[in-house]
Copies of this chain bind each other. A is one copy, B any other.
Amino acid sequence: MAVEMTTRNRLPREGAGEQLSREQIAATALALVDREGLEALSMRRLAQEMGTGTMTLYGYVRDKDDLLDAVIDAAAAESPAWGEGDGPWRDRLTSLMRELRRGLERHPALIQLRLRRPIMTPGALRGTEAGLQVLVAAGLDPVEASRAFRTLFLYTFGFAAFVTEGGREEHRAQVRAAFAVLPPEDYPLLTSSVEELADVLGGDEQFEFGLARVLDGIEARLPAA
Contacts and interface: CB of A to CB of B under 8 A. Distances in A.
A210 interface: yes
Given A115-B161, A174-B120, A182-B125, A200 B132 contact: no
A162 to B, nearest CB: 6
Contacts of A205: 147
Contacts of A217: 212-217, 220
B150 A157 contact: no
A25 interface: no
A224 interface: no
A189 B144 CA distance: 12
Interface of A: 111-112, 115-116, 118, 120-122, 125-126, 128-129, 132-133, 136, 142-143, 145-148, 150-151, 153-159, 161-162, 164-165, 174-175, 178-179, 181-183, 186-190, 192-193, 196-197, 200-201, 205-206, 209-210, 212-218, 220-221
17 contacts: A115-B164, A125-B187, A128-B190, A142-B197, A143-B196, A143-B197, A147-B205, A147-B209, A148-B209, A150-B206, A153-B158, A154-B159, A154-B162, A157-B162, A158-B161, A213-B221, A216-B217
